[in-house]
Structures are given as structure tokens and as C-alpha cells.
Structure 1
């Protein structure tokens, strides 16, 4: 058995006899610094995923305007004017979209002043990505106190994964470009569902992370499922297309799904945590690296551009 001190980072290997003696002792002092080391993980009371989702009342339903926009774009009998018409009925959405359209990120030569003009200038696919971005950004307006993450960090990470996923698909899986952007924005939606439960089990969660478990590994240890699995179920309830929900479910374990999109999300997520000077391919599993089919140099370029775009969008849209 191995235990870790979260304060001084000392690691102690216990013999089976020592571990047996500690079976009934929840905490022991660290021999080096005296900080109490948790030797037993206190798991929260069992709760099914269904009950957990039902009790999570703080999450909004999928915005009606996003549902209608996707319906119009997917319909062969609609045109761009129909999309502009529904946008102009939602003044708050239109105001945010125009702000985004006129931001430095899009770099339009002439500013657009109406939803109709934005539709004509930007095109329906770009506009759908903008509507998705504006709609889902409301999900990330609160801090995740259980995970010790502020709202800006969570949103910036989601936006980075969305941009990188989209750009990978531009190069390798053109038909998945819009799906990749939407799935990237929502890939950590399960953290919004789990946050309050992580907060209630904060000490146990921190101890598991201190023992070297990944975030999703610690979640599985505590609840029996992780944020990717609960995120999939949340997205299904939100009527997110199944290919996107499936990719979200397996974005930490892409080898378990026959999904190019899962490998793309996994790759984008890994790139988001890398040091900017690190070779992108070094931390990717070999299967995903081959499946994505881009060189480390190409991924480095995508990563660098995405971080610049995130900074620009967050500054233009969330701060100003």
C-alpha cells in the first residue's frame, strides 16, 4: 500500500502488515511534517446517475434558439433569411452575436449592424458555431468550487478544445467540423453536474488526486462514474446528436469507441494541458496520434493559434 502526504509530498510504502493495522485508522500524522494523511477514502453515499441528473436543477435546458437554428440549417427548404428572422426575435442573443461578429477575432472589414447582415456576411455554418458558442457560454458563468476552477478558466478550456477540435477536423475530417466545435464546447459538461458532489467530498477528492489519480480517475473512485460518462447522459437529455455525445463519453478513453470525433476531442484536451514548448505528439497515445493523422508540427501550429484565438475571444466577448 502507498500513501502520500499532500503537504510535503512525501510518499510512504506500507507493508501488508502495516496496511492491515491502518485498516481502522482514518488518518495518521506524516512522519516528516506532521500533516494528517488520510488512509481511508470516505466515499459519498451511493447515488445513481439518473437521480444525480434529476437533482441537478441548476443546468438550463438547451436554448430554444439553438434548436431552431440547427433545424433551419439542416432543412433543405429553409434559407439564411429564416435564420436571421428567428435571431431578430431574440434581442439579447442578437446583441451578443453582433458583438462577437464585430470582434477582432473575426476581423470583418466592415462592421455588421443587424442579424440579416451577419447572416449574409458570415454564412450559416459560421453563424451556427457562433450561436452554439454564445448559447453554451452561459453554462460556464459560475465557478466550479468543487474543482477549484473559476468560470473564466473553465470556459477558456472548453473554447480551446472546441477550436482545436474544429481545426483538426478542417484538415482531416471535414464533415465533422461543426460537430467537433459543438462537442468541444460541451466535452466537460459533466463537471457542471458533478461539481457540487465533488465539493461535498472535497477532502476525499483531494486525497485521491494527491495519490496520483487523474481527475476522471478520482471521480470514478468516488462515484462509480466520471464527468465524461455523466456528461454523455446530460448531453443526451439536451438532445445533443449521438455522435457528439458518444465522443464526449469517451474523450478520455478514445480507444474504447469507434469514433474519430472521440480521438479528436482527446487530442485537443491533451494539447490544452501541455506546456506550449512541449512537442504535441509526446503526450498522445499512439492510436489517437495515428487516427488524427497530423504531424507534431501541424498540431503545434493549431495549438498556438487556438490559444491566441481564445485570448482574443475571451477579451472581446467576456471581458469588454
Structure 2
């Protein structure tokens, strides 16, 4: 059995994302959907309802009075905020843990994924993009492939590192060369098995912008930019670190300047304490 066949077999060991995620993703970016449509999906899942109410009523949000229903939580926090919380809750197990092959300690990938998703949403709102919630979720799960590929990276790290250092490969190119698949490609396979939309699968597959023509896709460019910003702040910088190609054209295409990027970093740095609190309750 080849490395690739073994890796693909490992996907089956992943706990699948609950089906409610796909139901939500189908309607949350529809301009004709209402708060009622969204809360209707959530309210019939007792575990999700309990988790969201507990989070909404935590000190992080500081509500003047506790929300007793999903509808009340949506009214007090805003529907988008509730949807973000649902996605964080449902996707948290997928990216938690330690990824030793990538030199990411316990919770590092989770913190990076949440931070990347929050930044992506912030930029999407700033640019008034229509698919803000899909961008958030794609950014949150874009590195899901690393959770499966991790132990293979650990075993092949010396060979991968040699290609990066001596042959000018990006880390992802080296993954593909040595293992037969890279983490983005594997993430797309997982997203497809989980029945994500072709759009979401495409964003996860191409979040490192393997082709310069991809910068024309604003949703993809925003997810890519959020990834870069996190690395600039020192998050998600494990063994693969900065061994990726940087595509300045992505910033130019979506109209984000270097000054804008610095402001995004400064704003997010000011919110880091809040993010740490959110990570504890999410």
C-alpha cells in the first residue's frame, strides 16, 4: 500500500462534522434568509443549543440578562455572531490537539484556526463581500488536512526539510513530493467527504494560492491573506513556518494595502485577550 493510500485510509478515522454545518452553510450567506431560518436549524439540536446558550451567557459577551433561547441569543448578539459560535463549537474537535509533525503544541492549530477565521471575517466585512460566513468557516477548517497528515510528516520530516532547504521547495510542494499529497489537497478530500459545497472544497484546496491566477477570486484571496496575517503575528508558525510562496498580488487584487494589513494586525492584537477568552468557552 502506497503512502497516499494509507493517508486516504486515515481520513476514515476522523470524526465527521455534524450535518447541521452543511444545512447552515446552505442558507447563512443567502441574502433572502432570515434569523428565523437560521435559528430553526439550530434549535432542534439540544446539544448545540445548550452549548451556544452557555457560551452566549459567558463573561466573554457580558449580556445584561441571560439568553434563554437561541432566538434570544441571536437577538442579543446578532445572528452572524451566533452562527460563528455554532461553527466554532461544531468544528473545534476537528482541529484541536497536538500536531507534533508540524511542531504545533497542544491547542496551537486550534488557536491559529480561530484567529485566522476571525481575521478573514473581519476583512470580508471590511470589503463587504457577500459570502462572509462561508469565508469564516473555510478559514477555520482550511488546515484540517494537517491533522491527518501529521504523523506522516513526522516520519518524513528530514526528507521534506531537505527539499525545502536545499531545493527551494515550498513546504507544501515538499509534502506532495515525499508523501504523495499535501495538506491542502487532503483537506479538500476531507471537505468533499463531509459534503461541503464545491465552493468550500475549492477554497480549502487552494488556500495557499498555488497559481497566481487564483488571486482573482476575492473569497480565496481573503482566506489566504488571513493566513499570512496570522503568520506575521507568529501564530501557526510550526515546522512548516514561513516556507510558503507569498503572493503580493492577492493584497493588490482585493484592495488591501500594507497599511491596511498593519491596521488589521494592530486591531486584532488589541482583541487577543478577548480571543483567548473565546477559545476557552468555544
- Common fold: TM-score over 0.5: yes
Shift of 1:81: 4.7
| Aligned-residue offset at 1:172 | 1.7
The CA distance in 2 between the partners of 1:77 and 1:172, in whole Å, is 20
Conserved 8 A contact 2:16-2:194: yes
Contact 1:180/1:265 (8 A) holds in 2: yes
The Cα shift of 1:180 comes to 1.2
Does residue 304 in structure 1 map to residue 239 in structure 2? no
The structural deviation recorded for 1:269 is 1.0
Q: Which moved more, 1:221-230 or 1:102-111?
A: 102-111
Match of 1:98 in 2: 53
More helix by share: 2
- Moved segments of 4+, more than 6 Å: 74-78
1:294 aligns with 2:256: yes
Partner of 1:41: none
Q: Matches of 2:29 and 2:132 in 1, distance apart? A: 15
Q: How far apart in 1 are the matches of 2:256 and 2:32?
A: 37
Q: Deviations over 1:28-61 (max 9, x none)?
A: xxxxxxxxxxxxxxxxx73346x63333223121
1:95 CA drift (Å)? 3.2
SS of residue paired to 1:56: helix
What secondary structure sits across from 2:16 in the alignment?
coil
Match of 2:227 in 1: 269
Deviation at 1:174, TM superposition (A): 2.1
SS of 2:99's equivalent? coil
With the length of structure 1 as denominator, give the TM-score of the two structures: 0.72
Deviates more, 1:220-229 or 1:152-161: 220-229
Which of 154, 174, 191 matches 2:146? 191
1:216/1:227 contact within 8 Å kept:
yes
Decide whether the 8 Å contact of 1:104 with 1:312 is kept in 2.
no
The residue that corresponds to 1:285 in the other structure is: 247
User: How much has 1:198 moved relative to structure 2?
Assistant: 1.5
Q: Is 1:200–2:155 an aligned residue pair?
A: yes
- SS of aligned partner of 1:201: helix
Higher relative contact order (CA 8 A, sep 6+): 2
Give the CA RMSD over aligned residues: 3.1
Of 88, 92, 117, 2:72 maps to 117
What runs of 5+ residues in structure 2 fail to find an aligned partner? 235-244
Whole-Å separation in 1 of the counterparts to 2:35 and 2:267:
30
Change (3 A) 1:70 1:214: closer
How far, CA to CA, are the matches of 2:132 and 2:30 in structure 1? 18
CA distance, structure 2, for counterparts of residue 217 and residue 135 of structure 1: 31
Could you tell me the TM-score, scaled by structure 2's length?
0.80
Q: How many residues in Structure 1 have an aligned counterpart in Structure 2?
A: 269
Residue equivalent to 2:132? 177
The structural deviation recorded for 1:154 is 0.3
Answer whether contact 1:102 1:111 (CA < 8 A) is retained. Answer: yes
